[in-house]
Amino acid sequence: MPLPPLVEPADALSPREQLRTARHQRLAGLGSEGQRRIAAATVGVVGAGGLGAPVVLALAAAGIGEIVIFDDDDIELSNLQRQVIHRLQDVGRPKTDSVVRVASDMSETRVRVVSTRLSHENAAELIAGVDLVLDGTDSFESREIVAAACERLSLPLVWGTVQEFAGLVTVFWSAPPEGADAVRLHDLYPPGSEAPACSAVGVFGPLCIQAGSMMASEALKLIMGLGKPLLGRIAMIDALAGTVREAPLRAARVTASARPAEPDVREVDEPGAGAVVIDVREADEVATGMIAGALHLPLGELLASLEEMAEELRDDEVVLVCQVGARARRAARALAGKGVSAVVLRGGMDGYNSRRSAA
């Protein structure tokens, strides 16, 4: 069903924007008012990578008023196969630099850069003030942080993911207008979900453009109150088959008593003396630094050899480490289920580094 527009229209467009967006304004149902709503909107884009890059291109071309870009990464050569706003000469520079350049080259879109890494503690404060959020991150830890902040702020969240040759796009909204059902990230994926990183399994470059453009379309539809947004539906892209299908997505109405019990996981601020520290992040993540003496064993490999690892670690105190904590908790629960004494480093490497910096 159509939803009411998210944004009130701007009073007027500049003469240049009036001319530049003429083809938009000729669209039935969009017109001058829809274009002025686009010009008045402020959107948050989390991640300037495979999905964030085409999102930024489409939104800046559409004439969005302001993009608040959240990213703290620098550009690597391997990004250029799919992250289409970056260029060879940009390698080594912050990804946000490309967003600023693209917007100024295409339209009057303003860009505000937030280089602080989002966490459960700061995300809601940093995201507050936008009309909606588009999540282009590539880990479940980051997605859970963004989704939790949007739920706290009652913001619509346009969400997408790509892996190998498959993509998903949908809209989550914990407090939609009357008549629409709330749908949240955890209705699609339970807390602590994991998937292989694209660095491990790869991603088809053109698929990022396709999924990112769908995300931008959903954002513009919500801003204008136009068409039927993907709230309560999920679009499933199969690039090899050349198909886009959809499936209904409803709130997971599962009672607490019906959920399988999960063992509690204890958290520690520092590994104890003699503890076995296992870092379950991927290779590119541990390249940025590890705890001295830690064993590197990506989560997928640990789970694949769980019986063997549990037998080897049964007499040890084991501390699991990831970037923020979600993957480490999954590993700790799996090992605990096999009789291993396993705890989690509180807040992952981000929390550990923050505590050491503050000490």
Closest of 277, 271, 317 to residue 297, by C-alpha: 277
User: How many other CB atoms are there within 10 angstroms of residue 106's CB atom?
Assistant: 17
| Region at 249 (left for phi over 0; alpha for psi -120 to 50; beta for the rest) | beta
Q: With contact defined as beta carbons under 8 Å apart, do 249 and 170 qualify?
A: yes
* Residues with active-site annotation: 198, 322
The residues, any chain, with a CB within 8 Å of residue 229's CB and separated by 6 or more, are: 3, 171, 218, 221, 222
Instruction: Using alpha carbons, list the distances in angstroms from residue 144 to 137, 149, 186, 311, 315.
Output: 10, 9, 8, 32, 33
How far, rounded to the nearest angstrom, does the alpha carbon of residue 80 sit from its chain's CA centroid? 19
Furthest CA-CA distance within the chain: 73
- Amino acid identity, residue 115? S
Tell whether the torsion through CA atoms of 123, 127, 131 and 135 is positive or negative. negative
